[in-house]
Structure formats: C-alpha cells, structure tokens
Amino acid sequence: MELLTTIGFGLVFFALIIVSVGLHEIGHMVPAKLFGVRVPRYFIGFGPTIFSRRIGETEYGLKAFPLGGFVQLLGMYPPGSKRYGKPSRFMELADAAREQEWEDISGADVEDRRLVYQQKTWKKIAMMFGGPFMNILIAFVLFWFLTASFGVVRTTTVVAGVPDCVKAVNDTSDCTAADPVPPAKQAGLQAGDQIIAFNGVRIDSYDQLTDSIRGNLDRVAQITVLRDGVEVELPAVHTMINQVSDEWDPTATVAAGFLGVYSQQYRESGGPLDALDQMWTMTKQSAVALAKFPVSVYFVAVDMVTGADRDLNSPISIVGASAVAGQAMTSDAYTDQQKLYLFASLLGSVNLFLAIFNLVPLPPLDGGHIAGALYEWLRRQVARVRGKADPGPFDTARLLPLAYAMAGFLLICGVVLIVADIVNPLELF
C-alpha cells in the first residue's frame, strides 16, 4: 500500500511538472500572439500525436511522450543570403531547416510582418524570455506561499547553547578528554548572551556574525556580549579552522573559522522579499551546479555502472524528482504539514532550475535565442555608428549545427539520468 501511495504522489508531481512545462510554452506563445506573430502549433509532449484541435490559426494537442513540450513560432529563420559555390555541410543543414519552416509561411505572413525575424529586438527577447519567466513566476508563487503559510526561520545573535567539545559531523558520542574544547566555551560564552561585537566591529545580524567568524579562520577573536543588560568583553580566544559547506556549492567544502555556538531561532510569517531572497540563493547554487553539470552526469553514470552509492547531491531527471516527491509524501519522519512543505518546495525548486537552465546562452535553449537577438541588435548599432547599411536580421539557422550538438548532448544526459533514477535512485527519505 505504501508503495502505491509513493507512486501515486510521484505521478501527481510528474503531472505538475508537465503542467509547468505547458505554462512555460504558454509564456512563449502569449507575447508572440500579442505581437502578431503567427503560432501554428502548441503541443505538450513529443512523438506521435494523441489528440489535437485547431482553435483559430493554432493547433493545440498532446503527444505520446510527455517529457516536454513545444510551441512553434513562425519565422525563426530569416531568408538566407545568396551564396556562390558549393555550400558546406553545415550550410546545407541550415538551408534544409529554413526550407522546411518556409513551407508553412505565406506571402501574407511576410507582408503583414507576422514572422519572428521581422520583430524588434525587445519583442524577440520578450517572446524568448516569456517561457523561463513563467517558471520563475511559478517558483515565486510557491515560495511566497510557503514563506507566508509555514513561516521563515530567523536566526539571531543570541546564544542558545555552547557544546562541551568539538565533534565530527554525525558523531553523537559523549565528549572525551581528547576532544577539543570549542573557542566559544573557552571564551566563556553562555546561553542568553547576545553577541554585539566581534573584533571591535558591531554586529547587527546573524549573517554578519557568521561571515565574521568564517572569515576569521584561526586568528584571534575578541567577542563582546550583552549579558543581563550589561556589555561584557570576553577573554580573547582563537577561532578554529573547520571544513564547512560552500555557500554556492553544497557538494564542496571550504576552510572557515569556527566558534562553536548554537544560536536562538524563531519562526515568523514571511513575505515576497523572503521568497525572492530564497530564490536568489538557489539561483547562485543552480548556476554552480550547471557549470558542473557535464562532470556530475559523468559521475552519475560511473556510480550506476560500478554499483556505487548515488551521491545525494547528484543531478536528477524529472523522473527522479517525481520519485523523491513521492518518497517525501510517504515518509514517517515528517508531519503532514512538513510533507506538503517539502512537496511544494521541490516543485518550486524544479521550476526555478528549469528557468535558469533555459537561460543558458546556447541554442536551442531560450537563452541562445536571446543571445542571438542581442547580437543582431549590437551588429546593427555598430553598422549605424560606422555609417553602413543595416546588415539585416541575424541568420539564426547558421547556429543549427551547434543546436543539434547541444540537443544531442542534452538527450544523452537525460537518458543517463532517467536510467540512473530507475536503477540507482536517490534515497533521501
């Protein structure tokens, strides 16, 4: 029964991701229609068509494999310039794609300026950014809902407690004489103390205190606290060097100063700025994860082949994310409220990552089209300043070989991750 429940919630999560993908494509389609660009097709999924219906000039439908979606905006490739001699293989690919698209383009489309390449730069960017923007909006709404309903944990500069010794992570054994004494205990910090200065610098927030301690490494630390309403300067001690998780890359550790205190926390209802702050932190972490993506996928494949345990920080596919969501909803370690929080948080995280991933400035991703539009605008500005004729629209069809290579790479990565999520899944709960 528990297995069926896990699968059920996993399927619900998968369906919500597909809805997010559909909204991503709507994010492209709505500005395109507003700008008068013709949109012949809007489909969820790939492969054979299961269902379709034409409404106005657009065919809407569902395909057999719901692992994505697409919207066709007419006129992505401008007419090619006249060439002499035998074209290269790359140019043949570009011309073939252009000819296929232009089979759907009529003279009226050209005359009425209903093609993408005929639009102004800001309109092209709006159409391409519309998809990622929808995913960002979904993530923002989810995280705002979570911060408003479940609250945000605030950490203060008030000491909640001081451990008697320094132990390795996950070491729950009792302290012994061989274990080092944390600097906080050496300095005489007590529960209820509010740290108000560190090395002579006034402390206004927990983040400032954390940054000061981490950056101090093993140097002298002079701490001033507010104890029972009186400022007390504690004896100087040396902070310790400890390996902690990197702020931008949770898979890596960095050397940082360590004081050894537990800080008081409280929970309060958050607002939109809290949601944006959380999303900004996740964006920085996602950017680092994307830079390491090819290497990370390689190690996922190695672990799968060798039978090694899956790294908990390794990338996962939509299938893997759905499995994790299903596990979270059936875990005995959480209350129903916590399960809902995890489910919604994971859905928001996936949407934010999809947005960031699609903004990578490489074709066929949305960021690649945005980069092409910006290059076209820059080229026109340079020509205008130099007193030369408008060079015309940038021939995006020339980037198709790169787009095909990128698509092939992403396909391979997707297959590897899906297979790994089935045969060597993450076990988070």
- CA atoms of 187 and 340, how far apart (whole Å): 42
Same domain for 366 and 229?
no
- Where among 235, 253, 268 does a domain terminate? 268
Predicted TM-score (pTM) of the model is: 0.86
Same domain for 141 and 285?
yes
pLDDT at residue 168 in the model = 67
pLDDT at 61 over 90: yes
Same domain for 264 and 274?
no
Please give the residue range of the domain that contains residue 133: 1-38+73-151+270-429
Same domain for 335 and 242?
no
pLDDT at residue 369 in the model = 92
Same domain for 181 and 169?
yes
Omega before 364 cis (within 30°)?
A: yes
25 catalytic per annotation:
yes
Same domain for 206 and 128?
no
Same domain for 421 and 285?
yes
Is 163 exposed, middle or buried (CB count within 10 Å of its CB: 0-12, 13-18, 19+)? middle
- Which whole number is the average pLDDT over 352-368? 92
Q: What percent of the chain has pLDDT over 90?
A: 50
pLDDT at residue 124 in the model = 96
- Low-confidence winner among 68-77, 131-140, 156-165, 172-181 (lowest mean pLDDT): 172-181
Same domain for 112 and 191?
no
Confidence of residue 84 (pLDDT cuts 50, 70, 90): very low
- How far is CA 254 from each of CA 163, 215, 251, 276, rounded to the nearest angstrom? 22, 11, 10, 26
pLDDT at residue 421 in the model = 87
Is 141 exposed, middle or buried (CB count within 10 Å of its CB: 0-12, 13-18, 19+)? middle
pLDDT at residue 265 in the model = 92
Nearby residues of 134 by Cβ (< 8 Å), 6 or more positions away:
20, 23, 24, 26, 27
pLDDT at residue 192 in the model = 92
Same domain for 144 and 163?
no
- Where among 236, 268, 300 does a domain terminate? 268
Same domain for 323 and 410?
yes
Rg, C-alpha atoms of the chain: 27
Long-range contacts of 170-178 (CB under 8 A, 24+ apart): none
- Which whole number is the average pLDDT over 6-15? 85
H or E element, residue 198:
strand 194-198
Same domain for 256 and 336?
no
pLDDT at 288 over 70: yes
Question: Residue 203's domain is classified under what CATH number?
Answer: 2.30.42.10
Cβ(156)–Cβ(265) below 8 Å: yes
- How far is CA 310 from each of CA 142, 171, 303, 326, 424, rounded to the nearest angstrom? 29, 22, 6, 18, 7
Is 84 exposed, middle or buried (CB count within 10 Å of its CB: 0-12, 13-18, 19+)? exposed
Within a domain: residue 17? yes
pLDDT at 3 over 80: no
More confident position, 35 or 250: 35
- Where among 227, 250, 268 does a domain terminate? 268
pLDDT at residue 428 in the model = 65
Confidence of residue 85 (pLDDT cuts 50, 70, 90): very low
Confidence of residue 189 (pLDDT cuts 50, 70, 90): very high
Within a domain: residue 207? yes
Q: Which of 2, 25, 233, 376 is catalytic?
A: 25
Within a domain: residue 50? no
The single-letter code of the amino acid at 359 is L
pLDDT tens by residue, 121-162: 999 999 999 999 999 999 999 999 999 999 888 999 999 999
Same domain for 102 and 236?
no
Number of structural domains the chain divides into? 2
